[in-house]
């Protein structure tokens, strides 16, 4: 309704709400993502640096793992947070390539920023990027080398997995000990059930002290000695082929009297109750002993009475075993967790070849080795500093995930920027010949963005990036060398397949798709509405009372002017 030729002002959003929109908003979002990319890109590749991150509590983390860095960066810009999501999804889906995916997404946005500034519609850019991504993924599938035949031959299959694990480790702290850890990682993944391949069943225990090469691979389960009561030292600490019982029962005297209220009139009646409590716990302990088990484990506490009872009968016991450790013992020994001490049958017991309690560094560990079921294993990591061991664990996680994916997906591509350069070359040639309209520039921008991977690898290694990239372009476009990539040994160009720098094709496909999706999402946002917690003052010391905007809107319906 118009009053006196003037259109009344309509307040829709809460006071203090910040709104910004249009081309400037898209460019602002792109700049925020480029700031994140600038932080993380120096960690890419074999010669990438590490970041020292300190949180609000002063806890330090030294890492070059993309997913960890993105998780620890306290990013407040809403658009830049999308990069955190793609790093996490890459880590969950593949386990490696987390830095690459953020660097790629940032570079795609950087290349299309020029088109945005020139006024090209975001929808045209998004369409072009999606088309380029589809073509790139199809090209990867086309050039990828299948290892299907090698999967049937155990030796060559193992060698392929070792090469993939070694490539995943080249950019990590443990690259100097690649050979040592590669064997450990491949052994660990192959020890799992090949149907499930649940990496949670690979236990990783960290013990400060010693050198990296003092790390152990246990083909079974190892966990730190649990809290123990008097009598524990009298128990035997080593068995050969013992029977193992796993319980979810509390073996403590106090457990019974908490469960009931009893009124007594004579002292003899009270004594009968006390005797009954002792009889209950003794019956439980006797039932466990009669199973013939030599190792008793429980998720719940095993008290001092039970500990001494087992010690007198040459039985080892451990209470308060962590649930994940107990799950791995069950998987390794074939035992079944029991929630009662009665009716434990022989088939409920597990067994292992050797059980022993051993001193490792400053800790005592219980080890179950030579297990018949052995669908689990444990890596005991050693090292000088806790920060260092934590980074080794993150590095091994990436390598384990790569090997796991390689067992499922039998196709590999060359690393060292070879795959990206080949796709870039293909897209450039395709755009020149087959894309006549304005999407041609978008596809070319996408192709140019892919070159960021080899360029950043060169920059981080201190090489002449321009020179090496020019050589790579010639190799890929004119000489047809599909697997030409950055040679870190002789500072030049080499065949990545011959150098055994291999990566699963899945890593590249997932990274490209995630980076493109993130870029399209950021480009499609052209308005941000930020609701502040408290309304900003209106004029000198005046704040709009709660609900004023709604009342104003209601008032307009009754023909009232809005001031």
How far, in Å, CA of 490 to CA of 167, rounded?
Answer: 17
R_g of the chain computed on alpha carbons? 32
CATH of the domain at 174: 3.30.260.10
**Do 355 and 290 belong to one domain?**
yes
User: Is residue 534 in some structural domain?
Assistant: no
Instruction: Tell me, yes or no, whether 392 and 418 share the same domain.
Output: no
CA dist 291 to 163, 336, 347, 419, Å?
Answer: 47, 13, 10, 60
CB 245 within 8 A of CB 344: yes
User: What residues have CB less than 8 Å from 479, skipping those under 6 apart?
Assistant: none
Q: Do 177 and 254 belong to one domain?
A: no
Would you state the structure tokens that stand for residue 217, as one six-digit string? 């691979």
Indicate left, alpha or beta for 291 from its phi (over 0: left) and psi (-120 to 50: alpha): alpha
Shared domain check, 227 and 365: yes
Host domain of residue 190 = 148-212+380-409
Name the burial class of residue 39, with classes exposed (0-12), middle (13-18) and buried (19+) by CB atoms within 10 angstroms of its CB.
middle
d(CA 101, CA 303): 52
Instruction: Give the max Cα distance, the chain.
Output: 103
Q: Cβ-count burial of 211 within 10 angstroms (0-12 exposed, 13-18 middle, 19+ buried)?
A: exposed
pTM: 0.79
239 bridge partner residues: 355
Return averaged pLDDT per consecutive 10 residues of the chain, 563 residues in all: 60 62 84 92 88 88 87 87 91 86 94 90 91 93 83 77 87 83 89 80 87 86 86 85 89 66 78 82 88 90 89 90 89 87 86 88 86 82 86 88 86 90 92 81 92 93 92 90 90 89 90 94 83 50 41 38 40
Question: Taking the CB of residue 18, how many other CB atoms lie within 10 A of it?
Answer: 11
Do 438 and 318 lie in one domain? The reply is no
Contact 100/83 with Cβ under 8 angstroms?
no
CA distance 311 to 230: 10
Res 272: pLDDT = 83
Q: Is residue 310 part of a domain?
A: yes
Q: Are 522 and 30 in contact (CB under 8 A)?
A: yes
- Structural domains of the chain, count: 3
In this structure, is the dihedral angle defined by the CA atoms of residues 263, 269, 274 and 277, taken in order, positive or negative? Answer: negative
How far apart are alpha carbons 45 and 329 in whole angstroms? 38
Q: Tell whether 313 and 228 lie within a shared domain.
A: yes
Q: Match 């640096």 to its residue by tokens.
A: 49
Given this model, what pLDDT does residue 57 score? Answer: 87
Sequence length of the chain is 563
Q: Does residue 287 lie in a domain region?
A: yes
Domain assignment present for residue 536? The answer is no
């Amino acid at each position: 309704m118009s009053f006196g030729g003037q259109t009344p002002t309509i307040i829709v959003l809460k006071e203090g709400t910040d709104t910004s929109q249009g081309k400037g908003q898209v460019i602002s979002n792109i700049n925020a993502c480029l700031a994140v990319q600038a932080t993380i890109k120096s960690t890419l590749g074999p010669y990438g640096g590490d970041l020292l991150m300190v949180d609000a509590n002063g806890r330090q983390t030294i890492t070059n793992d993309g997913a960890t860095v993105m998780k620890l960066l306290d990013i407040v810009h809403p658009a830049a947070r999308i990069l955190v999501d793609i790093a996490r999804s890459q880590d969950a889906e593949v386990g490696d390539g987390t830095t690459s995916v953020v660097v790629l997404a940032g570079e795609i946005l950087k290349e299309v920023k020029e088109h945005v500034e020139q006024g090209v519609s975001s929808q045209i850019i998004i369409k072009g990027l999606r088309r380029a991504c589809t073509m790139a993924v199809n090209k990867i599938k086309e050039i990828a080398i299948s290892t299907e035949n090698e999967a049937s031959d155990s030796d060559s299959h193992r060698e392929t997995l070792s090469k993939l694990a070694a490539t995943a480790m080249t950019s990590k702290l443990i690259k100097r000990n690649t050979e040592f850890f590669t064997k450990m990682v491949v052994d660990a993944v192959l020890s799992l059930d090949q149907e499930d391949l649940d990496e949670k069943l690979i236990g990783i225990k960290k013990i400060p002290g010693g050198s990296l090469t003092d790390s152990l691979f246990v083909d079974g389960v190892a966990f730190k000695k649990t809290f123990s009561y008097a009598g524990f030292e009298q128990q035997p600490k080593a068995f050969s082929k013992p029977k193992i019982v796993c319980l979810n029962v509390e073996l403590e005297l106090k457990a019974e009297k908490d469960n009931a209220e009893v009124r007594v009139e004579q002292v003899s009646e009270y004594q009968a109750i006390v005797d009954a409590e002792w009889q209950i716990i003794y019956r439980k302990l006797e039932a466990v002993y009669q199973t013939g088990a030599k190792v008793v484990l429980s998720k719940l506490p095993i008290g001092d009475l039970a500990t001494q009872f087992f010690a007198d009968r040459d039985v080892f016991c451990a209470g308060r075993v962590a649930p994940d450790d107990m799950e791995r013992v069950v998987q390794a020994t074939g035992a079944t967790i029991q929630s009662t001490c009665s009716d434990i049958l022989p088939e409920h017991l597990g067994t292992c070849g050797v059980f022993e309690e051993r001193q490792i560094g400053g800790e005592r560990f219980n080890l179950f080795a030579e297990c018949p079921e052995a669908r689990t294993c444990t890596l005991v990591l050693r090292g000088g500093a806790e920060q260092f061991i934590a980074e080794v664990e993150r590095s091994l996680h990436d390598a384990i995930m790569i090997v796991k994916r390689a067992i499922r997906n039998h196709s590999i591509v060359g690393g060292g920027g070879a795959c990206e350069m080949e796709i870039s070359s293909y897209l450039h040639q395709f755009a020149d010949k087959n894309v006549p309209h304005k999407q041609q520039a978008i596809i070319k921008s996408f192709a140019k963005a892919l070159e960021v991977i080899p360029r950043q690898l060169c920059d981080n290694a201190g090489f002449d990036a321009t020179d090496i990239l020019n050589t790579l372009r010639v190799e890929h476009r004119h000489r047809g060398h599909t697997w030409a990539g950055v040679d870190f040994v002789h500072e030049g160009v080499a065949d990545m397949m011959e150098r055994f720098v291999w990566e699963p094709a899945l890593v590249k496909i997932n990274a490209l798709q995630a980076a493109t999706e993130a870029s399209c999402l950021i480009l499609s946002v052209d308005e941000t509405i930020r609701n502040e917690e408290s309304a900003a003052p209106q004029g000198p010391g005046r704040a709009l009372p709660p609900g004023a905007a709604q009342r104003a809107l209601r008032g307009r319906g009754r023909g009232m002017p809005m001031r």
